[in-house]
Structure 1
Amino acid sequence: MRDAPTAPAQEARFNRRPPFVLAMLLVVYTFNFIDRQILGILAGPIKADLHLSDTQLGALGGFAFALLYSTMGLPLAWLADRRGRTKVIAASLAIWSGFTALCGLVSGFWAMFACRLGVGVGEAGGVAPSYALISDTFPPQQRARALAVYSLGIPLGSAAGILLGGYVAAAVNWRAAFLAVGLAGLVFTPLFAWLVRDPKPANPAAASAMREVLSILARKRSFWLLAFGAGSCSMMGYGLAFWLPSLMRRSFGLDLVQTSQFFGLLLLIGGTVGVMAGGIFADWLGGRSRSAYAWLPAVSFLLGVPLFVAGLFSGSAQWAFWLFLMPQALVYLWLGPVLTAVQHLVPAPMRATASASFLLINNLIGVGLGSLTIGKLSDLLTPTYGDDALRHAILLGLGFYLLAAALMMAGGRYLAREWVE
């Protein structure tokens, strides 16, 4: 009779299963977006309690988070390439969860600003190493789908943040919502660190110098066009994620719980369908033409804009939900294709650093300016449109999806010649 495998052997065998690694990373990414997006549903109570303007709220939702989230991502990704992806991911989860919990204890704008900076520092080390870990774990023909599954953390986490935040804030207060989700992430951290390992040990000697990675990317036109295209669409994506709950309360008359149900279901259904469709279509079309990884998102943005406009000016919340549902799926479709393309612009040992370089541009533009720009537009339009100013601010912001479509279409022209297997 053969001896039963030891606990370390069982752990190693379990950890080598790609679906398990992907599932654990998905949970971490879901926490990432719960902690990132919960501020949107809580904006109303926070604004009233801390006496903030829309511009200040927009700064908390975007600039405060993005300032260090974007700039710290590159050195942390380089560290992950040298020392191991999972160590950096686990440490990052603990940091951002701790600062999310602290958001529930603040008493003013600057204290909240500082805590959001801390959340950004933590989350800076989570995403790019995860992209690289997935690319190391899955074969090329499955990477777009695997990255799409990982990207489900965006709609799942955003929806969970909206729903949990709305219900907890209604039952207790907005502070309890921050404390609850932050502590949940801290509880999950040791489990992730114990069970997930890199497919192969980190080899610092094999990791490329950061300047070498940046030098390769600087010469690739597809990288710049995809990065700025992603930044343009993320401006509106993050702007909508932050401000759509406020729009539903101001212009459609929903209360806090109704808003959390409306937006939570919108993200859960539309976002999940869009992310998975993007991964499936990218793996299928990408085998025929590398350009499809960029052109597929471009078409989806063009189709989504008129539907968003129709939803904004619909006569009821019910009509708005159904009109927003399809474009919500379309504007999430870019994640699997574009993230896969970025992984193939550099050799494998450079992937985390390349991903962080992409995220630096995407997040400085998208996270840093999205909610802030719409908040500023709303304040500027308030003398003319009153409580309906936010609706018109979002309408103007939809132009960034059109700019994203143009940049992605141009980027597709160069992907095939700059692709690295």
Structure 2
Amino acid sequence: MTDSRASQRPATLVLAMLMVVYTFNFLDRQILGILAKPIQASLNLNDAQFGAIGGTAFALLYSVLGVPLALLADRIGRTRVIAGSLVVWSGFTALCGTATGFWQLFLYRLGVGVGEAGGVAPSYALIADYFPVERRARAIAIYSMGIPIGLGLGVLLGAVIAQAVNWQAAFIVMGVAGILIAPVFLWLVRDRYPPIVRAAGAQSAAAVIPILIRKPAYWLLSISAGCSSMAGYGLALWAPKIIAVQFGWTASNELVKVGQFMGALLLIGGSLGIFLGGVVSDRLARRDRAWYARVPAIAWVIAAPTFILGFMTPNPLLAWCILLIPNALNTLWLGPIITAAQHLAPSNMRAGASGTFLLINNLLGLGIGPWAMGALSVALKATHGDQSLGFAAMIGVCLYLVAAVLALLAIRPMKRDWIEAED
């Protein structure tokens, strides 16, 4: 039984609106990175404190609430939970523009995390409802293009607004824009299956977790994604500041220059990598499901050394060309690994399995990555001075190699536990 209103909604329209919401998700995260220097100067924050605001504060409730909100979405409606979450995180983003100290900004970022906890896992489940398995990695990859688009627009718009007005205005403008999108999303997007139908088959966390515990591939893939995200989220927060120091773009009137460098890098590299990851994985995995893990592993092995080379290159144009490679490869895993995780649990547990996956990924990636990179920078400050953050990043990207090993170890149990059955 399908929702008659949903049957009139093309899958492409649903996917496009989900991508718009996901763009705001990452726009609201990334805007903090480009504003690191003015915020740290205004609120007197060191790198470790700012890393805690950028990662730990966001991840604390974002990670924990992902599972219960995903299960709630299975019962009351995925579109309702997604739209409500958008309003909450956008409202707290706007409030960040009113912060006057560390703890106030920390608490507002905590609120942003509460809102965003309800956005991603229900979106994955909604995509699984609308798209068949042979098109799913590609659909998730297109949805995940909201990441580079949001990251790119975050640094570009954040820099432009902050330089024209101030950093506070950048938060307020982005937050209000997100709130205005929510009713449009709710009007255009419908659940593929009505909640009353899903509720009969929806599983509680007590039922989902025991099944996942028996799937080693699920945990290997989740932890490998988490290791990748520790490096990725750390770079998302700190790369603008690293680039500014690397090329001497540290004056207040050069913030837009940093935004243009990072924005073009994230938009072009990230979009290309995520899309190709979905297309290539779908095509190769028709013959062998192992490619859902092999493709990300290969990408991570190449990403680590090219990031290091890019951060050591003194010429901006050459560095941009080099950094384009790892920025395309470090997010390539999203389509294939999330698709694989979806197929290691029964279809009526999709949202719950996605929420658990995100719990692991975000506790590691968001909870530890930005803070650890900032703390390492503080520890290296005495010996490396202004370059300490760059050295911390070069150490951090080695986590991509750990992620690659874990993904390859997941191949055999993944093929054994793969569930082909559809709704």
* TM-score exceeds 0.5: yes
User: Is 1:240 the equivalent of 2:239?
Assistant: no
Residue ranges of structure 1 left out of the alignment (5+ in a row): 1-7
How large is the Cα RMSD of the aligned pairs? 1.2
Cα distance in 1 for partners of 2:314, 2:153 equals: 27
CA distance in 2, matches of 1:342, 1:228: 12
Measured after TM superposition, the shift of residue 365 of structure 1 is: 0.2
Contact 2:222 2:361 in 1 (8 A): yes
Deviation for aligned residue 1:14: 4.2
Alignment of 1:267-346 (within 5 A): 267-346=266-345
* In the alignment, structure 1 residue 101 sits paired with structure 2 residue 90: no
Are the equivalent residues in 2 in contact too, given 1:291–1:416 (CA < 8 A)? yes
Q: Is residue 193 of structure 1 aligned with residue 186 of structure 2?
A: yes
Match in the other structure for 1:415:
414
Contact kept in structure 2, 1:14 and 1:20, CA below 8 Å: no
Deviation at 1:53, TM superposition (A): 0.6
* 1:212 paired to 2:207: yes
Residue 251 (structure 1) shift: 2.2
Alpha-carbon distance in structure 2 between the residues aligned to 1:317 and 1:379: 25
Matched with 1:184 is 177
Offset from partner CA, 1:287-320 (integer Å, 9 cap, x none): 1111110111001111112211111111222221
Question: 1:89 touches 1:126 (CA, 8 Å); kept in 2?
Answer: yes
Any stretches of 5+ residues in structure 2 without a counterpart? Answer: none
Q: 1:308 to 1:131 in 2, by over 3 A?
A: same
Aligned to 2:221: 226
Contact 1:291 1:414 in 2 (8 A): no
Contact 2:52 2:371 in 1 (8 A): yes
Q: What is the CA deviation profile of residues 129-163 of structure 1, one whole-angstrom value per residue up to 9, with x for unaligned ones?
A: 00000000001100000000000000001101110
Match of 1:205, SS state, is helix
Match of 1:116 in 2: 109
Quote the residue 1:160 is aligned against: 153
Contact in 1 for aligned 2:273/2:331 (Cα 8 Å): yes
State the alpha-carbon separation in 2 of the partners of residues 286 and 215 from structure 1: 28
Partners in 1 of 2:382 and 2:318 — Cα distance? 28
Q: Name the aligned partner's letter for residue 361 of structure 1.
A: I
CA-CA distance at 1:407 after TM superposition: 0.5
| Partner Cα separation in structure 1 for residue 397 and residue 200 of structure 2 | 46
SS at the partner of 1:314?
coil
**Aligned pair partner of 1:146 in 139, 142, 166:** 139
Count the aligned residue pairs: 412
Normalized against structure 1, the TM-score is what?
Answer: 0.96
Q: CA deviation at 1:70?
A: 0.1
SS of the aligned residue for 1:213 comes to helix
Residue pair 1:158, 1:267 contacting (<8 A) in 2 also: yes
Q: Give the Cα separation in 2 of the matches to 1:347 and 1:355.
A: 12
Identity %: 54
How far residue 62 of structure 1 moved from its aligned partner, in angstroms, is 0.3
Shifted more, 212-221 versus 303-312: the winner is: 303-312
1:200-235 deviations in Å (ceiling 9; x for gaps):
111322211211111111110101100000000000
Equivalence for 1:388: 387
What is residue 403 of structure 1 aligned with on the other side? 402
Q: Tell me the amino acid that sits aligned with residue 247 of structure 1.
A: I
Instruction: Check whether the contact 2:7–2:192 (CA below 8 A) recurs between aligned residues.
Output: no
1:27 to 20, 25, 41: 20
201-210 or 238-247, which deviates more: 201-210
Letter paired with 1:187 = L
- CA distance in 1 between counterparts of 2:86 and 2:109 reads 14
What one-letter code is carried by the residue in structure 2 that aligns with 1:240? L
CA distance in 1, matches of 2:310, 2:231: 15
Counterpart of 2:135 in structure 1: which amino acid?
Answer: Q
Which residue identity lines up with residue 191 of structure 1 in the other structure? V
Structure 1 ranges of 4+ moved more than 6 A: none
Q: Which amino acid aligns with 1:276?
A: F
1:266 equivalent in alignment to 2:259: no
The 1-side partners of 2:215 and 2:327 are apart by: 30
